[in-house]
Chain A
């Protein structure tokens, strides 16, 4: 009797907790989509090497969060930019930490991206059908480097200023379009107020917008196409079975799991 009463109460509580979730699910299908994402199968030999991608994502999210807060205090004007950076770093509560995290998070983000790229290369994970995702990844890398370049000017100190002069002039040496790109980046003939506002807008809005879209696409393709096993794995998903192995497998496990499904998919 007591057990039944408790279970009824439990049911009530469960109902209460589930009601909003069910409400959302019925109207959007988001809950089941999240479940499909979370409870999807990955090869069983997936391990630490495959965490570099998600680690890069974490670094990116740190950049987003800290960048949004920094924008509340930073003033993108040559007359005040440098003073606002000093104010953020020295005076504001936790300002040094948020700016420091943004500054060093950028480096960590880039390092992780290179490591992730190296891992994908060594695992041969850019092969069919994942070529498109490799291209998207390279674009993300390029945009991130641009993010680094535009962000470097914002403190408006000597290092920022002259590194940006050199960086813009490097663009300027490109054939045909070079001087055009350089003038566009500077917003005029000389580096000045327009340049800082322009770099701020690119750094804050345009490039991050592109990055978020591309990262979303990247993740969608990862979910859709799956993660590859390490190349040295003995039980890699999609490995070729020689006859002996297949027979042995047949002895141990009467139902040939892989083959049955494989035939099924061939027919489909």
Chain B
């Protein structure tokens, strides 16, 4: 099941040229780029693993693409996303985040309904491979 998180996730996967263009946009805005990866596509999983430190003071997307190539080599079958962090006072947060790599077969999200106290029911999602 194709997960849709972050920017552009309803579009077809970005090509490398398109990723470069997006990174250039981020760098023009002086945002710091960070790479993260995970094998758990659950929407509540906000803590992805960091691939190295966030990259400050970059001038060109080639530096990010270098890291991305290495991350893909190590975790080619995981989700990889690029986060652009804006350090401007008042924002101080991720301004843009998009997926740049998906596993070949994406896990399905299965819903589980549990009866709890009284007639209350709770729902949870788990990734099924």
A in complex with B? no
CB within 8 Å of A: which residues of B? none
CB within 8 Å of B: which residues of A? none
